[in-house]
A and B are shown apart, each in its own frame.
Chain A
Amino acid sequence: GNSVTQMEGPVTLSEEAFLTINCTYTATGYPSLFWYVQYPGEGLQLLLKATKADDKGSNKGFEATYRKETTSFHLEKGSVQVSDSAVYFCALINANTGNQFYFGTGTSLTVIP
């Protein structure tokens, strides 16, 4: 079946620190991979996506590379800001098996000045 596993939080970093949030997946075929972000009091927003192996998604300084050999889609940012404090969700959709997204449990990030 399809599933997503992401690193447990919460994660607390100082401003300008390097961020990595690990995400691995299980799926048959070739899923599309996503990172969503949920800022306090808001709904989920699409942060970035990659639809095939070796694709790199990027947005707002965040990057993630679709690695089929390691079934991973780790989220990285070189220098976090206080405004990046949010919950981050890794997700996949697999057109071979249906139309629903499968989400990880979310990783809470707090960036302190």
Chain B
Amino acid sequence: GAGVSQSPSNKVTEKGKDVELRCDPISGHTALYWYRQSLGQGLEFLIYFQGNSAPDKSGLPSDRFSAERTGGSVSTLTIQRTQQEDSAVYLCASSLASHPTNGYTFGSGTRLTVV
């Protein structure tokens, strides 16, 4: 597609429920990244995919968080047993290379609210 597409744009869920967030990167972009943006905080790195593999998962905050990527394209970030501290904007980005000195292209994000 023309840009990085994320869905849903907004998600309100009850504490304890599981949620899935979807990212559709720019066609042909082999690298895909998930970040979390909390109120008053910077962007927190979560995970990086090169193709379908995730060589860097160091930012996932707990084992409740997981992500997968299939076909070198769409990625899904899953949060199990959501907690209120998971409320944030989850941003996806993609790039052509694994060392993107030209910068990432970001999606508009999914705003997750856990009530």
Binding site for B on A (CB under 8 A): 4, 32, 34, 36, 41-46, 49, 51, 89, 91, 93, 95, 98-106
Binds A, one of B11-19, B62-70, B76-84, B104-112: B104-112
Tell me if B's interface is mostly helix, strand, loop or mixed. Answer: loop
Residue of B nearest to A51 (CB): B101
B20 at the interface (CB under 8 A from A): no
Which residues in B have their C-beta under 8 angstroms from that of A98? 56
Partner of A101, one of B43, B56, B108, B109: B43
Decide: A45 near B42, CB < 8 A? Known: A95-B101, A99-B99. no
B103 touches A99 (CB 8 A): no
Q: How many A-B residue pairs have CB under 8 A?
A: 58
A89 partner, pick from B33, B43, B100, beta carbons under 8 A: B43
- In the complex, besides A101-B104, A105-B41, 5 extra interface pairs with C-beta distance below 8 angstroms are A45-B106, A49-B101, A89-B43, A93-B100, A93-B101
Complex interface: chain B residues within 8 A of A46 (CB): 103-105
Residue among A43, A100, A105, A106 making CB contact with B106, cutoff 8 Å: A43
- Contact between A99 and B108, CB atoms less than 8 A apart: no
Question: Which residue of A43, A51, A99, A104 is within 8 Å of B98 (Cβ)?
Answer: A99
B91 & A43 in contact (Cβ 8 Å cutoff): yes
Q: Does B31 contact A (CB under 8 A)?
A: yes
Say whether B109 contacts A43, CB under 8 Å. yes
Q: Is the CB of A43 within 8 A of B43?
A: no
A43 to B102, CA, bound (A): 17
Which residues of the other chain, B, contact A91 by a CB distance below 8 angstroms? 43
| Distance in angstroms between the alpha carbons of A101 and B48 in the assembled complex | 11
**Interface membership of B4, Cβ < 8 A:** yes
Interface centre among A89, A93, A101 (most CB of B within 10 A): A101
Q: Name the residue in A36, A100, A103 with the highest tally of chain B Cβ atoms < 10 Å from its Cβ.
A: A100
